[in-house]
Amino acid sequence: MAFFWVLAGLLLIGLSAWDGFETMIVPRTIQRDMRISRVFFRLSWRGLAILTHGRNRKAQERTLCAYGPLALLALFSIWAILMFVGFGMVQYGLSELVPAPGSPGIWESVYMSGTTFFTLGLGDVKPASAIGRWVVVAEAGIGFGFLAMIIGYLPVLYQAFSRREVMVALIASRAGMKANAGSVLVRYAKRDPGLLLQALQDWELWAAELLESYISYPVLAFYRSNQRMATWLGALTVMLDVGSVLQLGTEGQGTRWTAIVDQAELTYAMALRVVVVICTLIDRAPDQDRTERLSRDRFGPFILELQEAGMALRRDEGTWEAFVRLREAYEPYLAVIADELRLEIPAIYLSASQNIPTPEQTVRQAENLV
């Protein structure tokens, strides 16, 4: 039984330490299913979704907003508990293997381990053997390093969150809280097309940062944006929709619009990679039955409104089919992400010119942020 206590304790220490190391130091290993953090987030999020099912939308959103930070604190607690319980089991097993007068029992060993791991240094329970003292030294060092990792991890995570929200706020201010591809394109088409080119370049960079952040910090996907109607998933959807529309091509609008179409392809490709990676992170397959957010009947008025704003898209027999093919590449992923994370996907076209925010709407939106 003594060997069992030592081996079980070492297993707990190894699992929790390696999971924390992978999560906070080398978070690239996202594919291994049997990770404490991966299983924890999967079960706790889906359990919370079941508990909040049926509530009104506002109450549900308040609960889901608290999940990200609380779940992260809970994960840190799980790692810490597993490690100091593991060290306590090792101490108890060693006291059985190397008997010494005054050796603590199992509960005293776990208590001693907890005070050592959190560097309390109470000293009311001490190991009786020499090897037990060396285990205490090792545990104190590991506990100190673990706390240092947490302190260094949190600021980086919140910096990534802040950078993510910058583009969400920009799109909301430029095209309304219910921003969609129509409102964005109409607003830019009425102004200098160079602004649209710059926006597409900024969106590509933001999508690349989003990809890097979510691979490194998967928990970031569970952090809600400041506004329910203006979310990071909504901003990403707008980028994909705008990219798919612009890739249809323009007619007789010069070389500047050719550069815009070329950049739209790059932005679209980067945003598409993001949604595929996020589906992998949340362990869901794309829903191939969910690909329709704009009917063919609405596509004609959409193209006409863009033309009236100054953007003459190519219109021939293959335009609609090309648009459908581009959307079918990402909409199944968007639908699954929205379902899993309880987020809303914006429409592609909603009477675009009416969605541009007025000064009064901008003031109300700002008031709702705090």
Over pLDDT 70: what percentage of the chain?
87
- The residue with tokens 């798919």 is 244
- The two tokens of residue 96 are 């059985």
Cα separation, 277 vs 345, in Å, equals 18
Answer yes or no: is pLDDT of 264 > 80.
Answer: yes
Mean pLDDT of the region 264-276: 95
Q: Residue 45 is which amino acid?
A: W
pTM (2 decimals)? 0.82
**Cβ neighbours around 213 below 10 Å, total:** 20
CA distances from 224 to 2, 162, 172, 228, 345 (A): 47, 11, 15, 8, 14
204-219, pLDDT tens digit by residue?
Answer: 999 999 998 888 888 8
Q: Distance of alpha carbon 145 from its chain centroid, rounded? A: 26
Indicate the average pLDDT of the chain.
83
Burial of 259 by CB count in 10 Å (0-12 exposed, 13-18 middle, 19+ buried)? middle
- How high is the pLDDT of residue 246? 92
Rg of the chain, C-alpha, whole Å: 27
344-360, pLDDT tens digit by residue?
Answer: 888 888 764 445 555 55
- 126, 138, 129: which is closest to 94 by C-alpha? 129
Q: Residue 70 is which amino acid?
A: L
- 313: β partners: 250
pLDDT band at 173 (very low <50, low <70, confident <90, very high): confident
Mean pLDDT of the region 311-328: 86
- The residue with tokens 């240092």 is 148
